[in-house]
Amino acid sequence: MQNQPLLTKAERDFIQQLQLQPTTAKRKNTPNLQVDAGEQLMALLANCAANQPLTIEAYFANQRLTFTAQLSENDHHEQHLELGTPQIFDEGPASRAWRLPLEPAVALRHRNGKSSELWVHELSMNGLLIDYRGKHKAPSHFSLILPLAGHKPIAIQGVRVRRTGDGLLAYRLEALDQRGSDRLLQFIYNQHRTLYPDAHRS
């Protein structure tokens, strides 16, 4: 059996014109990012993307944005790389998920729509900083609804981890289903674009 190339010339040409932008929302006037690579490197990229996670990292100030690249196939069975919504990390003594400040704080809600006594001040992909406004002891675990401006609310569960020096409660966010995780990731990224326009300027 003869060895077949992993990518056709058309596929290599497409990858070389890969644009660095989220697949969920294409923006006008986005600068093109062309990949200048030989056939062997393009074959390596395609093989990596097909068999294991392939990421592209970008740095802004003390933050790291990590994009996941995936191979997808169109109706003509042509494969190309797509970049998903990035995860954002703060780079310091230890790398941690970037925390989005919510001003004003947002009250978590019960399934009937009524506000709870837990108010979110900061939000990341794996945790929340919460101001508890109840009269009794703060819950060690909750299962509530997180309202997101401009997005559908997300059902979340959290487990209390500690109390911070300023009196807020840190909760670990339990694993979300894929749809909820994607929506939360997109919301945090959209807010990051608003807070740091220089990092996303076209």
pLDDT digits (tens, 9 = 90+) for 35-85: 555 666 767 777 776 677 778 888 888 888 888 877 676 777 666 677 788
pTM higher than 0.85: no
pLDDT band at 11 (very low <50, low <70, confident <90, very high): low
Cα–Cα distance for residue pair 174/16, rounded to 1 Å: 39
pLDDT one-digit tens code per residue, 161-190: 999 988 899 999 998 889 999 999 999 999
> What phi and psi values does residue 107 have, to the nearest 5 degrees?
-80, 130
Largest distance between two CA atoms of the chain: 74
3 state DSSP class of 198:
helix
**Which pLDDT value is given to residue 197?**
78
Q: What pLDDT sits at residue 57?
A: 86
When pLDDT is cut at 50, 70 and 90, the band that residue 154 belongs to is very high
Q: Where are the alpha helices (DSSP H) in the chain?
A: 9-16, 39-51, 178-195
Query: Which residue has better confidence, 147 or 56?
Result: 147
Percentage of the chain surpassing pLDDT 90?
Answer: 38
Q: Which domains does the chain have, with CATH numbers?
A: 9-90 (no CATH), 99-200 (2.40.10.220)
Across the chain, what does the average pLDDT equal? Answer: 80
Nearest to 173 by CA among 139, 125, 135, 115: 125
75 vs 96, higher pLDDT: 96
Higher-pLDDT residue of 88, 159: 159
Q: What values do phi and psi take at 106, rounded to 5?
A: -115, 130
